[in-house]
Amino acid sequence: MGDKTAPGSSLRLEWVYGYRGHQCRSNLYYTASKEIVYFVAGVGVVYNTKEQSQKFFLGHDDDIISLALHPERSMVATGQIGKEPYICVWDTYNVQTVSILKDGHQNGVAALSFDPEGMRLASVGLDNHGTINVWDWRKGKILATTRGHTDRIFDIQFNPYKENSIVTCGVKHIKFWTLCGNSLTAKKGVFGKVGELQTILCLAFAQDDITYSGTLNGDIYVWKANNLQRSIQGAHSGSIYTINASDDGYSTGGKDGYVRLWDCDFKSITKIDLTDSNEGYQGVYQFLFPNKQDNC
């Protein structure tokens, strides 16, 4: 009989392969230090493309399914699945926990969003009511809570141009929320005759109470307050999974494998077929912005 005692050594995580894109959206970001933050299984990953190195956040005990970047771009919030899921706010520089938010959700944390000042964090649960919580994340305290929707919610975002305004969207619905004290009140999106009632996957904003939303069929719906104002048809051939806003306009990513760039009025500038590109980020960036220095 050999020695049955455990060996006197331990395993160390060296490299994480892959990326969790399945059933997750808007979960890949550049940090202030030009690193990329994302997650795989239960691990938060901070990837330095120049040094080809990774740092790992190991504060979760189940799979991570949601991520939000703090406005200062050095911290992130990640949410997990499980019977008693929790949210971790952590620093991407040293991959250390800053705050843990517990006892707010059941089954999982489907989506997260910091407010423009970075003081509050909104979260959506995977329970039957799609519970929405707004947290003072530094104190770990829930400021407001309400039932979001009986159908799955895919995205939640603070409107950066309208104080105390939150928008949620998901399976065949969109809602426009007002936060007042510890109360959240909603107005349903009115589709009218402008566009069909369909599933909405992602959100972005403009001034004058305009909300852009990406739809399941590849159209972009443009909302004025809670009324559907117009539809940008055929923006993608298939579902639009993400919209990103910048000072120069917007970018969208779709199931068709294209990244499309739009100006501030959502007029098309160009598109890149990532399914046919072997140049990586730098090649795509130089194609899109040939006269612009890479300062991101």
pLDDT digits 0-9 by tens, 66-83? 999 999 999 999 999 999
pLDDT average, residue stretch 236-251: 92
Contacts of 197 (CB under 8 A, 6+ apart): 172, 191
Residue 285 predicted with pLDDT over 60: no
> What are the residue ranges spanned by the domains of the chain?
16-147, 162-291
Q: Are 153 and 105 in contact (CB under 8 A)?
A: no
- Which of the four pLDDT bands, split at 50, 70 and 90, describes residue 279? low
φ, ψ of residue 192 to 5 degrees: the values are: 60, -140
CATH of domain 162-291: 2.130.10.10
Q: What are 124's two structure tokens?
A: 């959506």
φ, ψ of residue 16 to 5 degrees: the values are: -110, 125
pTM of the model: 0.88
The CA distance from 142 to 16, in Å, is 33
- Which of the four pLDDT bands, split at 50, 70 and 90, describes residue 284? very low
- Residue 278 has what pLDDT? 65
Question: Do 16-147 and 162-291 fold alike per CATH?
Answer: yes
The amino acid occupying position 145 is T
Give the β-pairing of 120-125 and 29-30: unpaired
- Residue 11 has what pLDDT? 82
Q: Are 204 and 192 in contact (CB under 8 A)?
A: no
Superfamily designation of domain 16-147: YVTN repeat-like/Quinoprotein amine dehydrogenase (2.130.10.10)
pLDDT tens-place string over residues 157-197: 999 999 999 999 999 999 999 999 899 999 999 999 999 99
pLDDT average, residue stretch 193-220: 95
The CA distance from 67 to 109, in Å, is 10
- Residue 1 has what pLDDT? 56
The CA distance from 77 to 248, in Å, is 26
More confident residue, 11 or 122: 122
The CA distance from 217 to 71, in Å, is 31
Give the β-pairing of 200-206 and 141-147: unpaired
pLDDT tens-place string over residues 105-156: 999 999 999 999 999 999 999 999 999 999 999 999 999 999 999 999 999 9
The CA distance from 115 to 256, in Å, is 31
Q: What are 98's two structure tokens?
A: 């800053």
